Amino acid sequence: MRLKDKVALITGGSSGIGKETALLFAKQGASVVLTDIDGDGGMAVQKQIQEAGGKAAFFKADVSKAEECEAMVLFTEKQFGALHILFNNAGIMHSEDGDAVGTEEAIFDLTFGINVKGVFFGCKYGIPAMRRSGGGSIINTASFVAHLGAATPQLAYTASKGAVLSMTRELAVIHARENIRVNALCPGPLRTELLMKFLNTEEKKQRRLVHIPMGRFGEAKEMAQAALFLASDESSYTTGSEFLVDGGITAAYVTPESPKTT
Which residues does the annotation mark as catalytic? 157
Least Cα distance to 130 among 180, 170, 176 occurs for 180
Residue 110 and residue 92 in contact, taking contact as beta carbons nearer than 8 Å: yes
51: Cβ contacts below 8 Å, ≥ 6 apart: none
Residue 230 and residue 139 in contact, taking contact as beta carbons nearer than 8 Å: yes
Max CA distance (Å), the chain: 63
Which amino acid, residue 42? G
**Which of the 8 DSSP states describes residue 145?**
G
Output the CA–CA distances (angstroms, integers) from residue 77 to 39, 74, 129, 132, 163, in the order listed.
20, 5, 8, 10, 28
Q: What helix, strand, coil percent values describe the chain, rounded to 5? A: 50, 15, 35
Spatial separation of the C-alpha atoms in residues 155 and 138, rounded to whole Å? 26
Spatial separation of the C-alpha atoms in residues 16 and 14, rounded to whole Å? 7
Residue 135 and residue 178 in contact, taking contact as beta carbons nearer than 8 Å: yes
75: Cβ contacts below 8 Å, ≥ 6 apart: 33, 57, 59
